[in-house]
Structure 1
């Protein structure tokens, strides 16, 4: 036991020894005086009595408290209190109280975290079940219809097989996205970092979805003319996937004759920030904290009709975090949304 941890018991022993010494000295003095044997040699009795009292009281108190405190430590050790196990057993009540209070707060936080995770797990399993069963039932329905006799009709056979194929493609799409998120979360997905032109990547994504945007008369554009390349350091394929997911979302939830605008700005000396802004439906403020969760949908009904795996924004977040960068979202319901992420500038 450390000396600093015993200061309270020392104080107790010092005071108690003083009281006992004073009382004993007075008692002995009265006794000697009564029997006419009083002597000034009694002065030597005082320090001897005090020292003996101090040693006995200190030892007994330490042993008394230590045994009980040790039992508390042992009980907490059974509850896996690693923070207490790492420290020497102290008989200082103030220190012990702080340690137990800290332990209790940590356990409370741990329990609350487990409750949140359990709720998230239940919701996640429900979402996975829903996302998978929809295309599965679709495929099953068409196959059963064909087996019941529709396969004899050439037109129906081709039509139902095509629809069943689309259901299988959707299943594969969801499973691939789940696999990617799992790899990102456990760190198995390695990034192939290289120096590339972010302007060129944005243009290639615009070209890919030009026809999709044209169906809703949505304009894909930059905020200005970028005549010179802007070189960044990252995994080109993954960053293209990030931009793809963000731009597809802006088209999916954008208003007809709307705009999806991309801007690339210098943030600090070695960082750029890429912004994807639209004037679509916007997102309610209460939904923003959960926007990047797996399968979380703002519009529980409408968004399912639009298709997708429900994993796009979660994948975006994981890819950006794998680059050790940050992603931000600002949105106002009925006005539009802006997703932005940082990237390392190439030297």
Structure 2
């Protein structure tokens, strides 16, 4: 309280005292030279003078400071001056200092965030440009070659048209995936949730990708033999897409003669967790936080020999989040990776037997 009083009135008290002392000396000198006497009314006059000076100075200083601080609030637009009270300014000037410091910190954080977003935007635009221009230039090259005279050779014409068609298919694939991500982010993609057997769905994904895995002699397998069905509630087609993308990814970056293993485990009472594990090349630690970004590739060489749109993991993340579920990634470089996601159990889901 004493500190607050000192901050509020120190200037007014001292200034009033100086003025009162000056008037007292002047009045005393006048009385002395005019043979007057310092009587009771003289001291009353001194006291009243001090009080009047104090209140006038306090009011004027308070008004003076308030007007200028309010102008700072208005000009900088960092605070709402309509809620500013004079007492807030004059009784504790540290309030403004704290709020300005807070404003500065917030703006600094905002600027840093904008810089990160700008860097991400530039990288994203560069990736989009790279992904699109490769098939576009390929298609353009084949068509120009045909127009320059190669069209007359039937064998060349057919081969070039087939290659141009593959380039167009890749463009359609990229645009379709981008459209899906946009719909997922905007909440425009409707999920048709139903009860289905996740074990059967995984086995279906294995069957679809068996030939692709055979090219690298990669074994697609469960961690154990699931004799009973495991029922979950989700959009079957979208979860099929999630499993396909994750298994394709494990094959793409897996080692020759490797293994892709899927396990389904109880997580909590109403959840299961599906794990897709491989013993491939793994992901370096610094790349893990970005694996779900659009077009982000761990392979910095920019090679497209493995195909794909570069949007697979981003789509996986958005589909799982659209189900209000979680997706996780763990990896040790040179050892392998594990992608896992949660799903809601069906109401009549049997207990999962995790014993071999």
Match of 1:318 in 2: 318
Question: What are structure 2's unaligned runs of at least 5 residues?
Answer: 348-356
Q: Which runs of 4+ in 1 moved over 6 A?
A: none
Moved more, 32-41 or 269-278: 32-41
User: Matched residue of 2:304: which SS?
Assistant: helix
In the TM superposition, residue 190 of structure 1 has moved relative to its aligned partner by 2.8
Name the TM-score, length of structure 1 as normaliser: 0.87
Q: State the alpha-carbon separation in 2 of the partners of residues 115 and 179 from structure 1.
A: 26
Match runs of 1:112-123 below 5 Å: 112-123=112-123
- 2:264 aligns to what SS in structure 1? strand
* Cα distance change, pair 126–60 in 1 and its aligned pair in 2 (3 A): same
The answer for the alignment partner of 2:62 in structure 1 is 62
Aligned to 2:131: 131
Matched residues in 1 for 2:148 and 2:269: separation? 67
Quick check: 1:193–1:236 contact (8 Å CA) kept in 2?
yes
**How many angstroms does 1:311 deviate by?**
0.9
Look up the match of 1:210. 210
C-alpha contact (below 8 Å) 1:209/1:248 kept by paired residues: yes
Distance 1:274 1:112 in 2: 37
The Cα of 1:25 is off from its aligned counterpart by: 8.5
Give the conservation status (yes or no) of the 8 Å contact 2:283–2:337.
yes
Task: Confirm or deny: 8 A CA contact 1:9 1:62 kept in the other structure.
Answer: no
| Aligned partner of 1:10 among 8, 14, 17 | 8
Distance between the aligned counterparts of 2:11 and 2:127, measured in 1? Answer: 65
- Is contact 2:70-2:81 (8 Å) kept? no
Partner of 1:263: 263
Match of 1:334 in 2: 334
**Deviations, residues 33-81 of structure 1 (Å, cap 9, x unaligned):** 845522345554465344323321221111110111011011112xxx3
* CA 54–200 in structure 1, closer or farther in 2 if over 3 Å, else same: farther
| Match in the other structure for 1:275 | 275
TM-score scaled by length of structure 2 = 0.85
Please, which moves more after superposition, 182-191 or 39-48? 39-48
Distance in 2, matches of 1:109 and 1:275, equals 37
> What residue ranges of structure 1 are gaps of 5+ in the alignment?
1-5
3-state SS of 1:48 partner: helix
Q: Which residue of 1 aligns with 2:246?
A: 246
- Kept in 2, the 8 Å contact 1:255–1:281? The answer is yes
C-alpha deviation, 1:8, in angstroms: 7.1
Aligned to 1:237: 237
**SS of equivalent to 2:224:** coil
Aligned-partner Cα distance in 2 for 1:55–1:330: 71
Residue in structure 2 matched with residue 166 of structure 1 by the alignment: 166
CA deviation after TM superposition for structure 1 residue 218, in Å: 0.8
Distance 1:86 1:130, change over 3 A: farther
SS, match of residue 180 in structure 1: helix
Give the paired residue count: 338
Q: Which of 73, 85, 88 matches 2:84?
A: 88
Cα distance, 1:184 vs. partner?
2.1
Q: 1:21 to 1:232 in 2, by over 3 A?
A: farther
Say which SS state the counterpart of residue 305 (structure 1) adopts: coil
CA distance in 2, matches of 1:148, 1:211: 39
Q: Which moved more, 1:100-109 or 1:24-33?
A: 24-33
SS in structure 1 of the partner of residue 38 of structure 2: coil
Distance 2:193 2:6 in 1: 60
How far 1:21 moved relative to its partner? Answer: 8.0
The answer to whether the 8 A contact 2:19-2:53 is kept is yes
- 1:148, 1:8 → 2: CA distance? 91
Partner Cα distance (2:49, 2:142) in 1: 100
